[in-house]
A and B are shown apart, each in its own frame.
Chain A
Amino acid sequence: MVAVTARAIVKRFGATEVLRGVDVHVPDGGFAVLVGPSGCGKSTLLRLLAGLEDVTAGEIRFGERDVTRLAPRDRDIAMVFQSYALYPHLTVRDNLAFGLNLRKTDLATIASRVAEVSAMLGLDLLLDRLPRALSGGQRQRVAMGRAIVRRPQLFLFDEPLSNLDAALRAQVRVEIRKLHDQLGATSVYVTHDQVEAMTLADRIFVLNRGVVEQVGPPRDVYDHPRTRFVAGFLGSPAMNFLDGVQVDAGGLALPGGQRLAIRDPERFGDRLQPGRTVSLGVRPHDFVVRPDAPDLTVEVELVELLGPELQIHARLGGRPLAVCLDSQSGVARGDRLPLAVRALHLFDPETGQSLRV
């Protein structure tokens, strides 16, 4: 097990700069998730850690060891690919044993490790099959097994669940986290799925356009997004943004003439000078119904029942607003809905930075 440190990583493909000075630190035994929209550079960063691409500039260390220029085989890592990359001509058993065979491990050790891992992942009955005779979920397990059997210092996952159906994905997600806790190996996991990011990570790295926008524990990043991008990327349905909102003394002038009081203005220091415009962000789940003293009132346009909750498409001064409420709320189309805001976020309209100090 080992800590992973990448410093000032730059990666260019020709004239395209994919990573623009990225720093990553994953402590020994940590589970880091790199998350971001497609094209943000997260997969490239993972491939740099694996040694499958060369860095343009910067340094990668595993513990004290500088691995920046080492070949993948010398880094003592294992990787689970999105496509699983099972060797099509080898049986499950030989797929699992492939890396150990290459490293000239003795046959008795190989047999016992393969047996141990296949028992752990429930692959016992599949050992003599070829990959093409396996289902998607089974292939995924073999890919996991091939990584585990080597007992590497570092696990790398490249969107390992994206080819599974939703139910299986949720199940394997839990298993991956359990395996991590059991094996204690440092893991770096790439996904564009924010649910995977939130549930698996000790530490989330949100990437956007080749830079890390924010790092931290999932709860922290979710509750206190430092940029508008992070705020909009994490959370489903996405955070509502109202642009061009004017600050007045102790509150915000909302579209349609309503006024929203800011209960704890000290959170924003001296950044709320009256007269300046800001972008207001509120998560759909941060609204509650409050008929006696509402912060604001919205008009309900459409109500969708999602089982445990209602997803309400409303309008505030003509602007669309998503609101999620308990399914027992009894809201109907055409209602004027009095709401209180549990948490709000303010962003600089130019830079997208949070105004929180």
Chain B
Amino acid sequence: MSPADQGRKVSLAESIGAHLLLVVAVAFALYPLLWVVSLAFSGAVEPTPRVLPVPIEPTLEHLRGVAFSTLQVPGEPDRWLFGLQLANSIVISLATALVGVVIAVPTAYALARFEFVGKNGGMRALLATQMFPAVASAIPLYIILDGLGLLGTRSGLVLCYATTAVPFAIFQLRGAFETIPRDLEEAAMVDGATRFEAFRKVVLPAARPAIAVTALFAFMSAYNEFVLAHTMLGREEMYTVPVVLQRYISEFSADWPKFAAGSLIVSIPVMILFYIAQRHLIAGLTAGGVKG
């Protein structure tokens, strides 16, 4: 805000108008979410049409039903199925983010800083991979994983996710590295750093917000992905949460309250992650827009 704006008095009418507009916008965004909350806590099985999303016959039964589902195998002790599935999702998503960032950081740096044969061709090839929907590669990936004996495993799914997460991360990070002035590395090298030290001690810290955002995106896309997970994972205890949620809504019956309850629980890890990363996120999203 410029000093001129700060000194300006906002009239009451303007203030009311602005707030009304914001209230409408927030209501518009939150209304569907409130319905999910309402459904999750409603005792009635069928959603009834009404305006206000207030739970009918409030209960925690659906939440419990989802969260404490168990896997029963004859002859073995019961296992906490939902716990396994949530852990699957988190492990797979974290691994995807890690693989994505570890591969993309050096690649993006090279693409941002060095001239080499095949650079432009490589960039175009990476861009091309972004034009196809993930579903298009589902069958080839299935065949490859089958050949590698990784079908139905977490590492197999991470590999699939990496095929889309890595190119995207490379694009994001290349842009971020390009906004970091070369002077910084050159100053470090004159100060006595090798190129690698300059990268590690100056470029990486300066790119930290962008790396955090990229990792978060990779995590989220893996955490939300359904088609590949549904295709590659065969056994119930290997499922990720989107597959679990989808199973409440089948062709013949729809358990909406459980679906809603599941959605709420599943959102918790993401909300925690966003909360932790929000400082980096805001810095990352505005990076480059503001000159020092």
Contact = CB atoms under 8 A, between A and B. Distances in A.
A, B bound: yes
Interface of A: 50-52, 71-73, 77-79, 81-83, 85, 87-89, 98-99, 102-103, 131-132, 146, 150, 156
Contacts of B67: none
A85 B197 contact: no
A83 to B, nearest CB: 5
A135 B186 CA distance: 23
B197 A102 contact: yes
19 contacts: A51-B190, A71-B189, A71-B194, A73-B190, A73-B191, A77-B190, A78-B190, A79-B187, A81-B186, A81-B187, A85-B186, A87-B202, A89-B205, A98-B191, A98-B201, A102-B191, A131-B292, A132-B292, A150-B191
Q: Which 8 A-B pairs have the closest CB atoms?
A: A99-B191, A85-B183, A85-B187, A89-B205, A102-B192, A72-B189, A73-B192, A79-B190
Nearest to B205: A89
Contacts of B191: 73, 78, 98-99, 102, 146, 150
A87 B201 CA distance: 9
Given A102-B197, A131-B292, A132-B292, A85 B184 contact: yes
B292 A88 contact: yes
A99 B190 CA distance: 8
Given A150-B191, A156-B190, 11 more contacts: A52-B189, A73-B191, A79-B190, A81-B183, A85-B183, A87-B205, A89-B206, A99-B191, A99-B192, A102-B197, A131-B292
A131 B183 CA distance: 15
B119 to A, nearest CB: 15
Contacts of A89: 205-206, 208
A103 B292 contact: no
Interface in B171-185: 181, 183-184
Contacts of A52: 186, 189-190
Interface residues of B, number: 19
A349 to B, nearest CB: 43
A83 B180 CA distance: 12
Contacts of B183: 81-83, 85
Which of A72, A77, A98 gathers the greatest number of chain B CB atoms within 10 Å?
Answer: A72
B87 interface: no
B194 A73 contact: yes
Which of B184, B187, B193, B197 gathers the greatest number of chain A CB atoms within 10 Å?
Answer: B187
Contacts of A131: 292
Contacts of B188: 87, 98
Nearest to A143: B187
Nearest to A87: B202
Interface in B53-105: none
Nearest to B195: A71
B190 A72 contact: yes
A102 B193 CA distance: 7
A83 B183 CA distance: 7
Given A79-B187, A85-B183, A85-B187, A103 B192 contact: yes
Interface in B191-231: 191-194, 197, 201-202, 205-206, 208
Contacts of B202: 87
Contacts of B205: 87, 89
